[in-house]
Amino acid sequence: MPFSHLLDTDVISRLMKEPAGVSASRLAQLGDERICTSIVVACELRFGAALRGSERLAVAVERVLEAIPVLPLDQPTDEHYATIRNELQIRGTSIGPNDLLIAAHARSQGLTLVTENDSEFRRVSDLSVENWQA
């Protein structure tokens, strides 16, 4: 079965902090084989661990990233990035640079983005967004 949902940084962080929480329950309903994440999310998670200087956190991040497939950036993500950035800039509703890449990645692959930052990602047209904490 192909991937259907791409997990954002905040969702993976919550899963690490609350392995029996709401997001974990939703993940169990969906099935592990349906989820993935972006290389951009992996970058953010590894940066967060490095910033904290915590070996325990770095090990936990590596375990999570071994368990969740990490998709590389490839075409047509670049086309979606350009279109999304242009649309948001015209409307004056830009989002952060990493969030822009994550949105373009999810949309280009036809994946639902699971995030707690849905107010920002809902600005992106034709991007399916779910907030499992809402």
For 70-121, the pLDDT digits (tens) are 999 999 999 999 999 999 999 999 999 999 999 999 999 999 999 999 999 9
- Residue 1: is its pLDDT beyond 90? no
CATH number at residue 10: 3.40.50.1010
E-strand stretches of the chain: 5-7, 35-38, 70-71, 112-114, 129-130
Report the number of distinct structural domains present in the chain: 1
Predicted pLDDT at 15: 94
> For residue 119, what are the domain limits?
5-130
Please write the tens of the pLDDT for every residue from 22-67.
Answer: 999 999 999 999 999 999 999 999 999 999 999 999 999 999 999 9
Mutual angle of helices 22-30 and 9-17, in 10-degree steps: 110
